[in-house]
Amino acid sequence: MFCYQCEQTAKGGCTKIGVCGKTDSTASLQDLLLYLSKGLSQVACAAREQGIEDPEVNLFTVKAVFSTLTNVNFDDARFVALINRCVALRDRLKAKVSGVEFDGPTVLMPALDIPGMVAQGREFGIENDPEPDADVKSLKQTLTYGLKGVCAYADHAAILGKEDNELYAKVQTLLAATLAQGLTVPQCVEAGLECGRINIRAMELLDDANTSTYGHPVPTEVKLGPTAGKAILVSGHDLKDLETLLRQTEGKGINIYTHGEMLPCHGYPELHKYPHLAGHYGTAWQNQKKEFAEFPGAILMTTNCIQDPKKYIENIFTTGLVGWPGAVHVQNDDFTPVIEKALELPGFAETVDKGSVTTGFARNAVMSVAGTVIDAVKSGDIRHFFLVGGCDGAKPGRNYYTEFVEQAPADTVILTLACGKFRFFDKKLGDIGGIPRLLDVGQCNDAYSAVQIALALAKAFDCGVNDLPLSLVLSWYEQKAVAILLSLLALGIKNIKLGPSLPAFITPNVLDYLVENYNIAPISTPEADLAEILG
């Protein structure tokens, strides 16, 4: 195996087993599925040119690619099923296309067993990429990873019934483009920016899906301590799974808690209305082995990031695209096994007050106080905004973000989103004239909301986003973060500080390009970065 797609990659790339726990066989099956999904995309593009659109192929493309994102699926059997389905859909569509000579991943037949598929996957892994130019290879990988993020957002939106054929067409065009030989660096840069642009559309679609189904988030206080009684913990990012579970547990005496990226769900009126949505438990994904082991109820993983659950394998359930061998996978929205497990387990013995946090400062909530915010900036009460957001992770160096927020002067406001916030989410930073200094915009999936806030501020001040008193201090981990970064670049946003380390798949020349054109800089120390930004 060779994988260097996430921030916690071993030095130079994971080669024997992933730092995430991904085995050699899972990695190779993912490589095979990704290669075949690119072939499926080539066929979909050829079919589209002849006026043939296959909705099943479109949705499958984003699901298959999303399932290869970091910490989503570790179950080989599920990958085998996806590989076989991919080929069946490809051949069904191919039969409708006339006059096209297909080759490569559009004709490859998968082996009949796992060892055979693993051998095939190796052949199409990164280490066997025939691309001779290291910078082109780096940019093609960046594009592939960005597309994984786009597919994640598109799938989340589709789950709530929001799909866009034009978006699928662009995703498939770019997936197919990653297979092209002889591309130049400028062509690859343009493809990366196009990926950023289509990601904005995917995030917009998801924002529409979430807000039209569950209402616009409103600032909401969320309890951090447990309530006595039976309990289910929901982690991941999928709002529909949470809502379905809330409905199925009504009147059953079970309290539902959010974990990790599900925290912002409390802000949605149509989720908050359930009285047994009792509070939030735990912090970011990389702390789950300790936090899940101590949770006295059932646990439901709706999407990434799952870690090896062997210590509590009986209590954890997966659904959607997430999977772990040996964990019960719930299908067709029937959460009965999760509910039965929760009733069997002891639950919390007592109610404990551990304080609260406030979430729900998505674009609508922030814009509803735009006048006050603008006045505070004009009067000098607010000197600067920081968007301190992105993923959390296990590697050392992420304390930077905690210290950055702690050291940010009292006349600055921190907007945050995604699981990186758990480094400081419960800090009491006070307010500026009634505007809280710490504003939780939502999940990583709500980056669209943060972008809209920035664009609205730029409009109000009649300037460009880069001229606002706003700095982006980002942390990355997996490939949705790559997609978001490409979106920010596509929007022309400059001066981003990125950490805790730079992507291993970026070559020195590509980094130079980013520095020259976008003034991206790796984080240094909170003191130095704050002094530079505010100085």
Q: State the binding site for hybrid [4Fe-2O-2S] cluster.
A: 237, 261, 305, 391, 419, 444, 478, 480
Residue closer to ligand SF4 by CB (options 9, 61) is 9
Check residue 8 for interaction with ligand SF4 (CB under 6 A).
yes
User: Of the ranges 98-106, 176-184, 365-373, 477-485, which one interacts with ligand FSO (CB under 6 A)?
Assistant: 477-485
Cite the annotated binding site by residue number: 3, 6, 14, 20, 237, 261, 305, 391, 419, 444, 478, 480
Choose the contact partner of 425 out of ligand SF4, ligand FSO, none; CB within 5 to 8 A by kind.
none
What SS3 class is residue 34? helix
Q: How far is the CB of 499 from ligand SF4 (least distance, A)?
A: 16
Check residue 141 for interaction with ligand SF4 (CB under 6 A).
no
Helices 479-490 & 134-159, crossing angle to 10 degrees? 100
Check residue 394 for interaction with ligand SF4 (CB under 6 A).
no
Helices 185-214 & 447-460, crossing angle to 10 degrees? 100
Residue number of the CB closest to ligand SF4 reads: 18
Q: How far is the CB of 444 from ligand FSO (least distance, A)?
A: 3
407-426 positions binding ligand FSO, by CB under 6 A: 418-419
**Residues with Cβ within 8 Å of residue 63, at least 6 apart in sequence:** 82, 151, 155, 321
Residue closer to ligand FSO by CB (options 397, 464) is 397
* Cα separations in angstroms, 107 against 101, 134, 253, 462: 10, 28, 54, 54
Q: Which of 305, 339, 485, 489 binds ligand FSO (CB under 6 A)?
A: 305
Check residue 475 for interaction with ligand FSO (CB under 6 A).
no
Q: Which of 16, 22, 34, 384 binds ligand SF4 (CB under 6 A)?
A: 22
* Cα separations in angstroms, 379 against 98, 372, 373, 383, 431: 67, 10, 10, 9, 15
By the 10 Å C-beta count (0-12 exposed, 13-18 middle, 19+ buried), 215 is classed as middle
Map residues 48-87 to x or -, x wherever contact with ligand SF4 holds by CB under 6 A: ----------------------x-----------------
What SS3 class is residue 92? helix
User: Of the ranges 3-11, 110-118, 148-156, 483-491, which one interacts with ligand SF4 (CB under 6 A)?
Assistant: 3-11
Check residue 480 for interaction with ligand FSO (CB under 6 A).
yes
Decide the pairing of beta strands 497-499 and 521-522: parallel
Check residue 304 for interaction with ligand FSO (CB under 6 A).
yes
**DSSP state string for 365-425:** HHHHTHHHHHHHHHTTS--EEEEEEE---SSTTTHHHHHHHHHS-TTEEEEEESGGGGGTT
Percent composition of the chain: helix, strand, coil (DSSP 3-state, to 5): 50, 15, 35
Q: How far is the CB of 198 from ligand FSO (least distance, A)?
A: 18
Check residue 125 for interaction with ligand SF4 (CB under 6 A).
no
Q: How far is the CB of 303 from ligand SF4 (least distance, A)?
A: 15
Residue closer to ligand SF4 by CB (options 149, 226) is 149
463: alpha, beta or left? (left if phi > 0; alpha if psi -120 to 50): beta
Strand partners of residue 357: 222
Q: What are the structure tokens assigned to 115, written together? A: 């060892």
User: Of the ranges 37-45, 85-93, 475-483, 496-504, which one interacts with ligand FSO (CB under 6 A)?
Assistant: 475-483
User: Of the ranges 5-13, 114-122, 251-259, 321-329, which one interacts with ligand SF4 (CB under 6 A)?
Assistant: 5-13
* Cα separations in angstroms, 54 against 44, 59, 161: 8, 9, 16
Q: How far is the CB of 104 from ligand SF4 (least distance, A)?
A: 24
What SS3 class is residue 316? strand
* Cα separations in angstroms, 103 against 86, 94, 132, 294, 354: 16, 12, 21, 52, 60
Cite the annotated binding site for [4Fe-4S] cluster by residue number: 3, 6, 14, 20
Q: What are the structure tokens assigned to 8, written together? A: 């916690």
Q: Which of 3, 232, 245, 322 binds ligand SF4 (CB under 6 A)?
A: 3
Residue closer to ligand FSO by CB (options 164, 261) is 261
> Do 135 and 506 form a contact (C-beta atoms < 8 A)?
no
Residue closer to ligand SF4 by CB (options 27, 405) is 27
Check residue 19 for interaction with ligand SF4 (CB under 6 A).
yes
> CA–CA separation, 228 vs 230, rounded Å?
7
User: Of the ranges 13-21, 159-167, 330-338, 519-527, which one interacts with ligand SF4 (CB under 6 A)?
Assistant: 13-21
> Do 31 and 108 form a contact (C-beta atoms < 8 A)?
no
Choose the contact partner of 5 out of ligand FSO, ligand SF4, none; CB within 5 to 8 A by kind.
ligand SF4
For residue 329, the surrounding DSSP H or E stretch is strand 328-330
By the 10 Å C-beta count (0-12 exposed, 13-18 middle, 19+ buried), 250 is classed as exposed
Check residue 482 for interaction with ligand SF4 (CB under 6 A).
no
Q: How far is the CB of 306 from ligand FSO (least distance, A)?
A: 9
> Do 483 and 199 form a contact (C-beta atoms < 8 A)?
yes
Q: Which of 481, 489, 514, 523 binds ligand FSO (CB under 6 A)?
A: 481
* Binding stretches for ligand SF4 (CB under 6 A): 3-6, 8-9, 14, 18-20, 22, 70
* Binding stretches for ligand FSO (CB under 6 A): 71, 237, 260-261, 285, 304-305, 391, 418-419, 443-444, 477-478, 480-481
